[in-house]
């Protein structure tokens, strides 16, 4: 075995490699390819956090790997628990920056919301993460490790069913690393999550949306939040580059497996985008699309004067949509008391992204 080459690979991100790359890495260390498959199975299927746990590897190999290769890429700084059972995991990266992931309890399963960037460059006015700016993209290993680390804390890991890329950052702005991460999350030789239960949310990067539909099958969620270009550009500057007409056209062209729909996220802000006229325009925009709408009351955070729409108005808005046979669900925010709700991430980890 080539122990000399092993000593030069301390920063290798094994959780970011696909199967072929893991086999090639093993061979580059003078090992047979099947050792790479064994290590990959231990990481993704059995949740091993150290090489010492990989008991079907020779002891000398485990010791050599432990000295030369870093397996974990995230350090858990804190776990905050909300009154509603939501948990926010604050992770430190190798360079000291912090990211956040949110574990959300549902009726019969768990959903994990993960991050794709440290901060965000999109600059949506309603989002705390965007107000702090972008520091850097996450590596593939850092994206995947959020799922590995959180799952390892669960007494019944099989209850974690859904993965949503709705945390810090714009996933499609970190396209290459996100696509590789999605592969490791959904492939049988990876973590084997059903692609029906993995959702990527975007602010509307149209060219990347077109590529996404060709490169991998996952659910698509689009953060829409307005029904006219003036309002959407005010809330989401990305609309100046990809206005509503172009975004809707990209959604119409997005390949959808049978019975799947695109989810449109609509954050309701009092006096900004919550009029009944907005609801009527939304119905017209989505006509002909296999679509459903998540209505999300705005979650307040420091530095923003917006207020959530009153529940009476939200119900009226929903009634307009459902009256035209459009599926519209009011999403109750989870974890607002720990700054874990939609648009609040970064509030507990500002030491890392200021």
Which residue among 113, 124, 251, 342 is the active-site one? 342
For residues 243 and 290, is the Cβ–Cβ distance under 8 A? no
Count the neighbouring beta carbons within 10 Å of the beta carbon of residue 220.
Answer: 21
For residues 143 and 181, is the Cβ–Cβ distance under 8 A? yes
Identify the sign of the CA torsion 100, 218, 331, 304: positive
Q: In what order do the strands lie in the sheet with 98-105?
A: 75-81, 87-92, 98-105, 110-113, 160-165, 198-202, 219-223, 262-268, 291-297, 327-330
Q: Which letter does DSSP use for residue 133 in this model?
A: -
Q: Catalytic annotation on 100?
A: yes
d(CA 324, CA 315): 14
Which residue among 100, 142, 170, 208 is the active-site one? 100
Please provide the DSSP assignment of 115-181 as one string: -SEEE-SS--TT-HHHHT-EEEEPPHHHHHHHHHHHHHT-SSGGGEEEEEE-SSS-GGGGHHHHHHH
Q: Catalytic annotation on 251?
A: no
For residues 174 and 138, is the Cβ–Cβ distance under 8 A? yes
* Cα–Cα–Cα angle for 218, 24, 29, rounded to 5 degrees: 140
Where in the sequence numbering do the catalytic residues fall? 100, 342
């Amino acid at each position: 075995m080539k122990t000399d080459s092993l000593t030069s690979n301390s920063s290798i991100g094994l959780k970011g490699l696909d199967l072929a790359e893991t086999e090639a890495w093993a061979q580059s260390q003078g090992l047979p390819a099947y050792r790479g498959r064994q290590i990959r199975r231990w990481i993704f299927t059995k949740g091993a956090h150290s090489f010492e746990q990989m008991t079907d590897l020779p002891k000398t190999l485990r010791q050599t790997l432990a000295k030369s290769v870093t397996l974990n890429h995230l350090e858990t700084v804190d776990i905050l628990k909300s009154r509603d059972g939501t948990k926010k995991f604050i992770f430190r990266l190798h360079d000291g920056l912090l990211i956040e992931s949110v574990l959300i309890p549902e009726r019969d399963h768990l959903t994990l919301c993960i991050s794709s960037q440290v901060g965000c460059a999109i600059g949506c006015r309603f989002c705390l993460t965007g107000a702090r700016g972008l520091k850097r993209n996450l590596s593939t290993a850092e994206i995947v490790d959020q799922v590995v680390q959180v799952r390892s804390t669960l007494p019944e890991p099989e209850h974690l069913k859904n993965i949503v890329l709705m945390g810090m950052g714009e996933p499609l702005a970190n396209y290459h690393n996100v696509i590789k991460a999605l592969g490791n999350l959904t492939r049988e030789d990876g973590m084997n999550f059903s692609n029906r239960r993995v959702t990527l949310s975007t602010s509307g990067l149209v060219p990347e949306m077109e590529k996404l539909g060709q490169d991998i099958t996952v659910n698509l969620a689009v953060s829409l939040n307005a029904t006219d270009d003036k309002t959407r550009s005010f809330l989401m500057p990305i609309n100046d580059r990809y206005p509503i007409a172009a975004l809707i056209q990209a959604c119409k062209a997005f390949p959808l497996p049978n019975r799947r729909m695109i989810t449109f996220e609509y954050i309701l802000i009092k006096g900004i985008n919550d009029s009944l006229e907005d609801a009527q325009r939304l119905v017209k925009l989505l006509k002909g699309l296999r679509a459903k709408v998540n209505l999300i009351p705005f979650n307040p955070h420091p530095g923003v004067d917006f207020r959530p729409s009153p529940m009476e108005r939200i119900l009226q808005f929903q009634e307009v949509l459902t009256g035209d046979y459009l599926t519209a669900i009011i999403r109750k925010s989870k974890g607002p008391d720990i700054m874990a709700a939609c648009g609040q991430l970064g509030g507990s980890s500002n030491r890392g992204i200021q």
